[in-house]
């Protein structure tokens, strides 16, 4: 790690060389998955198994606000949300590229703190930073591409393939990040005192990588679970998992029609901070959990006989219902047609 810059360093003008030198203190140049790392026109990957690849934008005032995201939180979450996509495919993270659009207010002190938060996630998952790009911009713009290898040769998990009678399961808390966002928007970082778990769920989500790998291995000699990263809330993501939104029709047309779900989600499954928030605001806690958004949990389905060993092996995995053949989604014996969807960037 590099030492934090002195006040004189922080005040000096930025340059690409200074930024790259700062970055090099947090991210090593070499890694077992790289034949050639940063510093050339391209990185060269060493790929022995199929690679899973995902990209995400992380934009100021769209995905985060500087008023309550510290620089460390910003760097941490920018990479963590991408790693969560790899977890949703049952992949082991290997590396990433980073593109930064930096506005005029950014200085070396901010960059050191930002890189330290990002390096925390990269270190947890032993990921290489292979390259990227730097530019000036009017607002802070972060774009990351991650890749990882399959848990077993040629094996990864996808959203399609659910069947009627399959168990619907989740790994991780539901709706907690939604509470954290609401409290951070209302109170700023003071919300951390009264809502520590909810704020942490929003500011520093924990990608469920180990769970994804175990789920991929569980499906190696059996019908694999269907799995996805839960980032937009169950009401938005469950139809995607079941193939009700059209994305999976080319992958499994014979299996992606007419499916639905019966969700069973008692309040006892929900985090105490979510229950406290619902009681204080007069909202239905189960509905808040379903609307969710930015949970970065895993949402999946599996054959009923697969659930007991998965439940024993994977901390935080629990059943929330079953897949049906009748179409439509119900929760606790009530239809959810009036509840609306989860998060959508393009809705007002």
Per the CB < 8 A criterion, the answer to whether 85 and 96 are in contact is no
Can you give the pTM of this predicted structure?
0.90
Q: Name the average pLDDT for the chain.
A: 89
Binding site as annotated, residues for ATP = 132-133, 159, 231
- CATH superfamily ID and name for 12-150: PurM-like, N-terminal domain (3.30.1330.10)
Tens digit of each residue's pLDDT (9 = 90 or more) over 233-258 = 999 999 999 988 765 554 554 555 57
Burial pattern 140-171, b for ≥16 Cβ within 10 A else e, equals bbbbbbbbbbbbeeebbbbbbbbeeebbbbbb
Question: Could you state, in order of their start, the residue ranges of all structural domains in the chain?
Answer: 12-150, 167-335
- Of 213, 225, 93, nearest to 159 by C-alpha is 225
Quick count: other Cβ atoms within 10 Å of Cβ 275? Answer: 17
pLDDT surpasses 60 at 348: no
- Of 266, 209, 251, 175, nearest to 92 by C-alpha is 209
Residue 10: which pLDDT band, with cuts at 50, 70 and 90?
A: low
Binding site as annotated, residues for Mg(2+) = 41, 54-56, 85, 133, 229, 232
Q: For residue 72, what are the contacts with CB-CB under 8 A and spacing of at least 6?
A: 113, 114, 116, 117, 120
Return the pLDDT at 41. Answer: 83
Tens digit of each residue's pLDDT (9 = 90 or more) over 124-144 = 999 999 999 999 999 999 999
Return the pLDDT at 247. Answer: 59
What does R_g of the chain's alpha carbons equal in angstroms? 21
- Measured CA to CA, the distance from residue 295 to residue 198 in angstroms comes to 10
Burial class from Cβ neighbours inside 10 Å (0-12, 13-18, 19+) for residue 315 reads exposed
Strands 91-102 and 141-150: antiparallel
332's torsion region: left (phi>0), alpha (psi -120 to 50) or beta?
A: left
Strands 128-136 and 260-263: unpaired
Per the CB < 8 A criterion, the answer to whether 273 and 194 are in contact is no
Tens digit of each residue's pLDDT (9 = 90 or more) over 80-93 = 999 999 999 999 99
Tens digit of each residue's pLDDT (9 = 90 or more) over 168-217 = 999 999 999 999 999 999 999 999 999 999 999 999 999 999 999 999 99
pLDDT surpasses 60 at 278: yes
- Of 225, 251, 232, nearest to 319 by C-alpha is 225
Q: For residue 244, what are the contacts with CB-CB under 8 A and spacing of at least 6?
A: 256, 259, 327
Give the mean model confidence (pLDDT) for residues 29-50.
87
pLDDT surpasses 90 at 50: no
Binding site as annotated, residues for substrate = 63, 294, 343
- CATH superfamily ID and name for 167-335: PurM-like C-terminal domain (3.90.650.10)
Binding site as annotated, residues = 41, 54-56, 63, 85, 132-133, 159, 229, 231-232, 294, 343
């Amino acid at each position: 790690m590099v030492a934090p810059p002195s006040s004189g360093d922080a005040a000096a003008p930025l340059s690409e060389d200074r930024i790259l030198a700062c970055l090099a203190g947090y991210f090593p140049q070499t890694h077992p998955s790289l034949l050639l790392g940063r510093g050339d026109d391209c990185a060269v990957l060493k790929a022995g198994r199929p690679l899973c690849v995902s990209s995400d934008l992380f934009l100021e005032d769209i995905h985060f606000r500087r008023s309550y995201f510290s620089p460390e939180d910003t760097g941490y979450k920018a990479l963590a949300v991408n790693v969560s996509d790899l977890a949703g495919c049952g992949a082991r993270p290997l590396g990433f590229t980073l593109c930064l659009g930096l506005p005029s207010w950014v200085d070396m002190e901010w960059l050191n703190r930002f890189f330290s938060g990002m390096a925390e996630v990269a270190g947890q998952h032993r990921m290489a930073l292979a390259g990227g790009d730097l530019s000036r911009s009017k607002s802070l713009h972060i774009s990351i591409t991650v890749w990882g290898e399959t848990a077993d040769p040629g094996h990864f998990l996808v959203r399609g393939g659910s069947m009627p009678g399959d168990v619907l399961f989740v790994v991780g808390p539901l709706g907690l990040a939604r509470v954290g966002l609401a409290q951070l928007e209302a109170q700023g970082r003071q919300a951390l005192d009264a809502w520590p778990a909810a704020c942490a769920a929003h500011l520093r989500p924990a990608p469920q990588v180990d769970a994804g790998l175990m789920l991929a291995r569980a499906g190696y000699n059996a019908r694999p679970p269907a799995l996805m990263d839960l980032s937009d809330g169950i009401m938005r993501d469950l139809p995607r998992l079941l193939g009700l939104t059209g994305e999976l029709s080319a992958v499994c047309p014979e299996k992606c029609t007419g499916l639905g779900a019966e969700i069973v989600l008692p309040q006892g499954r929900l985090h105490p901070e979510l229950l406290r928030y619902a009681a204080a605001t007069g909202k239905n806690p189960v509905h808040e959990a379903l609307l969710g958004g930015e949970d970065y949990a895993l949402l999946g389905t599996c054959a009923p006989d697969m659930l007991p060993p998965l439940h024993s092996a994977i901390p935080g995995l629990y059943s929330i219902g079953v897949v049906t053949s009748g179409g439509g989604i119900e929760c606790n014996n009530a239809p959810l047609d009036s509840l609306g969807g989860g998060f959508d960037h393009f809705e007002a």
